[in-house]
Amino acid sequence: MLLLAMLRTAISYGSGRRPRVEDMEQIIRYMRQRRERGVGAAPSSRAWRPERWAVGNPDRVRVLQARQLRRTVEYVYRYVPFYRQAMDAVGVKPADIRWQEDVRKLPITRRDQLCEHTEAFISRYPGLVPTLPVYTGGTTGKSLEVYLTTDELRYYAAARAISYLRGGLVGPQSIVQLHQSLDNSMEGLITSMAGRLAGALVLSIGDKGTLDDHVESILKERHIPGKSTKVTGLVTPPSHLWALTQRAEEMGVDFQESDLKWIITGGATVSEDLRKRVSETWGVRVFEAYGLREVVTGSAYQCPRSERLHFSDTGAYAEALDPQTEEPLPAGRPGVLAVTTFYPYRELMPFLRYRTEDLVVLSPDPVCVCGRSTTQILDIVGRADYVILVGENTFYPQAIGDSLLAFRQLVLPPRFALRTEQRQDAQYVILDVEVDHPLGPREEHQLRQRITKGIVFSHHWEIQCGSVKLEVNLCPAGSIARPFPYKHQWLVLDRRGD
């Protein structure tokens, strides 16, 4: 039965189909049992890496990608109302898309469109049932909602569990401490499901407890049969990792007493300072993951031998576009990352050329230093819009402005700017906002406090536990030279063009 499951999985990957979850779970059980016996999760033979048969050969990757692309375009044209209409509007038929070069004929998908016509992006393929909503910040102030099916969720979890087991990160002896919310966050849910499938005990801390509790939980001895005595893996956003490390230093913990073997971050980029700090304290490597909540399958993971981030080219197609002309840029130049997610890995809501607004530099060399042939992000330069990452959550000007409307002492509609700074103790979110008229020191203090409590992100767990701190600066009317665009959708788009 195991052999059959392996064969079927390999054939599915080889022909660009999504393997059966039941087969993958059987493979996971086998790998888990091997890990329990203290041997590697799988024999080292290449037969055990069916989804990576092509990764060392650029030509094979290209052929496989082109096949996936054609299949995706056919699928979305047939079943996704938004793309049928958009492709008809630009006069493109599925038959026009044969190779990667043809991608430029396809329409670009913008976040605003997804926000306003979510239901039109849902596939009408019979039998697909949306069960899991994933929320992320929307440009209009309303959260952007995308959906997954249960089968997709199980597939992502199984695929990650196999990758965890094979990479030796997680196994039946592991205890994983997870600082990602499991509600409305696909990433936390997949990590938690994958960890459990691989046999790890997953401690979902989520939004509970203080920084002290989090540090203590890492160092606490647990006597659970068959498990390591302490937490072996940590999954957390970079801002929280920074604050956690700072707090651990203040508490005077002996980092050598920790059993941590790896740390995975996600939701924001990792600075050089953080990498160095973690290496000097916890003494382990930080694995960085890049991805957007709404794109799901178009993620990138850190190369084991370099600082580059590898895209999974068999699951998606990544390109860098000129922010203004939206034409593809030559690799090596900073451009807006656009991602096309391949069917059937993304089945309920596949995207064509989704404009992430992340400014990235892609590697001109198709083969990485580690030998894998894959698209690589050399650097994440910044954003092409006004989104601000607070902890692991994204906020657009509209949502921030809306939450400032209640403060009558401010210039209304609010004129404000927001930025983040990584300081010694934590990440600081600095809000500059204009007041309508000068206030006395007591009034200023009270207003600052009310804003600190009332602003949209003040209830997120990172702020509550102190891993992100909020600073409010009250500025005279008209003194903020370039306030964030607010209340006018066109202004956002216009400024993005600047």
Query: Which one of 272-280, 301-309, 442-450, 451-459 is the stretch in contact with other proteins (CB under 8 A)?
Result: 451-459
CA distance 175 to 259: 10
Residues 109, 204, 297, 467: which binds other proteins (CB under 8 A)? 204
Q: What are phi and psi of 404, to 5 degrees?
A: -95, -10
If binding is defined by CB under 8 A, does position 227 make contact with other proteins? Answer: yes
Answer for which of 184, 269, 306, 409 binds other proteins (CB under 8 A) is: 184
Task: Name the one range near other proteins by CB under 8 A: 189-197, 404-412, 418-426, 434-442.
Answer: 189-197
- Region binding other proteins by CB under 8 A among candidate stretches 196-204, 267-275, 305-313, 322-330: 196-204
Smallest gap, in angstroms, from Cβ of residue 184 to other proteins?
6
Give 12 or 181: the residue with its C-beta nearer to other proteins.
181
Q: Does residue number 141 form part of the binding site for other proteins (CB under 8 A)? A: no
For other proteins, which stretch binds (CB under 8 A), given 181-189, 273-281, 421-429, 440-448?
181-189
Q: Does residue 203 touch other proteins according to CB under 8 A? A: yes
Helix 21-36 vs helix 150-167: angle between axes, to the nearest 10 degrees? 30
Stretch that binds other proteins, among 121-129, 254-262, 286-294, 421-429 (CB under 8 A): 121-129
Contacts of 440 (CB under 8 A, 6+ apart): none
Among 199, 291, 298, 485, binds other proteins (CB under 8 A): 199
Please choose, out of 37-45, 318-326, 419-427, 453-461, the segment that lies near other proteins by the rule CB under 8 A: 453-461
Give the one residue of 30, 48, 53, 135 binding other proteins; rule: CB under 8 A.
Answer: 135
CA separation for the pair 183, 461 (Å, rounded): 13
The reply to whether 78 sits near other proteins by the rule CB under 8 A is no
The total of other beta-carbon atoms located within 10 Å of residue 341's CB is: 23
Q: Could you tell me if 159 and 357 are in contact, meaning their C-beta atoms sit under 8 angstroms apart?
A: no
Q: Which one of residues 460, 483, 484, 492 is an interface residue with other proteins (CB under 8 A)?
A: 460
Query: Does the protein bind other proteins through residue 252 (CB under 8 A)?
Result: no
Whichever of 106 and 201 has its CB closer to other proteins, that residue is: 201
By CB under 8 A, tell whether 113 contacts other proteins.
no
Q: Does 293 bind other proteins (CB under 8 A)?
A: no
> By CB under 8 A, which span of 3-11, 107-115, 414-422, 460-468 interacts with other proteins?
460-468
**107 is an interface residue for other proteins by CB under 8 A:** no
Other beta carbons within 10 Å of 41: 22
Residue 428 contacts other proteins per CB under 8 A? no
Q: Establish if 38 lies at the interface with other proteins (CB under 8 A).
A: no
State the Cα–Cα distance between residues 461 and 206, nearest whole angstrom.
8
Distance CA 421, CA 431 (A): 11
CB of 378 to other proteins, least distance (A): 35
* Residue from 16, 19, 137, 195 in contact with other proteins (CB under 8 A): 195
Does position 433 interact with other proteins (CB under 8 A)? The reply is no
- H, E, C per residue of the chain: CHHHHHHHHHHHHHCCCCCCHHHHHHHHHHHHHHHHCCCCCCCCCHHHCHHHCCCCCHHHHHHHHHHHHHHHHHHHHHHCHHHHHHHHHHCCCHHHCCCHHHHHHCCCECHHHHHHCHHHHCCCCCCCCEEEEEEECCCCCCCEEEEEEHHHHHHHHHHHHHHHHHHCCCCCCCEEEECCCCCCCHHHHHHHHHHHHCCCEEEECCCCCCHHHHHHHHHCCCCCCCCCCCCCEEEECHHHHHHHHHHHHHCCCCHHHCCCCEEEECCCCCCHHHHHHHHHHCCCCEEEEECCCCCCCCCEEECCCCCCEEECCCCEEEEEECCCCCCECCCCCCEEEEEEECCCCCCCCCCCCEEEEEEEEECCCCECCCCCECCEEEEEEEECCCCEEECCEEECHHHHHHHHCCCCCECCCCCEEEEEEECCCCEEEEEEEEECCCCCHHHHHHHHHHHHHHCCCCCCHHHHCCCEEEEEEEECCCCCCCCCCCCCHHHHHHHHHC
468: contact with other proteins by CB under 8 A: no
**Counting contacts by CB under 8 A, is residue 192 touching other proteins?**
yes
Instruction: Tell me if 399 contacts other proteins by CB under 8 A.
Output: no
Return the residue of 67, 208, 305, 333 that touches other proteins, per CB under 8 A. Answer: 208
Q: Which stretch binds other proteins (CB under 8 A): 147-155, 268-276, 336-344, 478-486?
A: 147-155
Contact 232, 260 (CB under 8 A): yes
Residue from the set 50, 56, 58, 130 that interacts with other proteins by CB under 8 A = 130
Of 36 and 494, which CB lies nearer to other proteins in the complex structure? 36
Residue choice 165, 190, 197, 243 for contact with other proteins (CB under 8 A) = 197
Task: State how far the Cα of 475 lies from the Cα of 478, in Å rounded to an integer.
Answer: 8
Q: Does 60 bind other proteins (CB under 8 A)?
A: no
Q: CB nearer to other proteins: give 231 or 377.
A: 231
Which position among 52, 62, 84, 196 is part of the footprint of other proteins (CB under 8 A)?
A: 196
Does residue 456 touch other proteins according to CB under 8 A? yes
Q: Which residues form the interface with other proteins (CB under 8 A)?
A: 22, 32, 36, 119, 122, 124, 127-133, 135, 147, 150, 153, 172, 181-184, 192, 195-197, 199-204, 206-208, 222-227, 456-461, 464
